[in-house]
Chains A and B, each alone.
Chain A
Amino acid sequence: EVQLVESGGDLVQPGRSLRLSCAASGYSFEEYAMHWVRQVPGNGLEWVSGISWNSGDIAYADSVKGRFTISRDNAKDSLYLEMDTLRTDDTAFYYCAKGDTKGLDWFFDLWGRGTLVTVSS
């Protein structure tokens, strides 16, 4: 089955760090770009970060630049998001999403169910 499964969401205090993971299955993970998209509960969707197939091209939303780091391990069919200096406004469901090409394209043809990150003291 073609799917993405996120993990790592948790309740953390402001200023702390957290690492999210996304496990891909059912397709050739190494052949496609990957992204993280988040949704504040009750609000809309916000693209967070994207990475090309070989990690050669990476982009971040201004709201997370300098605090979040995206990475991937093609040998493990996995995508990661290292989140540092977390703020209360980072509280959201975080979705892993697959791009349509090797390079950084900007639409998402497969999504996971998300993992909840709550930043609160």
Chain B
Amino acid sequence: DIQMTQSPASLPASVGDRVTITCRASETISTFLNWYHHKPGRAPKLLISAASTLQSGVPSRFSGSGSGTDFTLTITGLQPEDFAIYYCQQSYTTPPTFGQGTKLEIK
């Protein structure tokens, strides 16, 4: 299985900050990389697919980049609703696998 490693595991930040979360795949996955946002008790939400394609309705402060094995999710101008857990996921091959999550928390 392809292993997905996210960093950091925890990211303290303030409203208005710019933050970056990284995700590394154990082997090349082209741009088959997706980012999700999850608040416990709520439904996870797809933010970005194919490494950089913003989903409909997702604010433009979210952006994604990368290809091969290294990827980043950037949030520019954090809003209160952005404090949650973020997961990357490879959709290159079965089984699809997720990173362990990055908890974005209020500083």
Contact = CB atoms under 8 A, between A and B. Distances in A.
Nearest to A45: B98
A16 B87 CA distance: 32
B49 A47 contact: no
Interface residues of A, number: 23
B44 interface: yes
B89 A107 contact: yes
B34 A107 contact: yes
A61 interface: yes
A5 to B, nearest CB: 10
B43 A95 contact: yes
A110 B55 CA distance: 11
A45 B95 CA distance: 12
Interface residues of B, number: 25
Interface of B: 32, 34, 36, 41-46, 49, 55, 87, 89-101
B44 A44 contact: no
5 contacts: A44-B98, A45-B44, A107-B34, A108-B44, A110-B43
Contacts of A107: 34, 46, 49, 89, 91, 96
Interface string A62-81: 10000000000000000000
B46 A108 contact: yes
Contacts of B36: 108
Contact of A59 (B89, B94, B100): B94
Contact of A47 (B34, B55, B96): B96
A113 B55 CA distance: 19
Given A59-B94, A95-B43, A107-B34, 4 more contacts: A43-B100, A106-B92, A107-B96, A109-B46
Contacts of A46: 98
Contacts of A84: none
A106 B87 contact: no
A106 B87 CA distance: 15
A44 B96 CA distance: 13
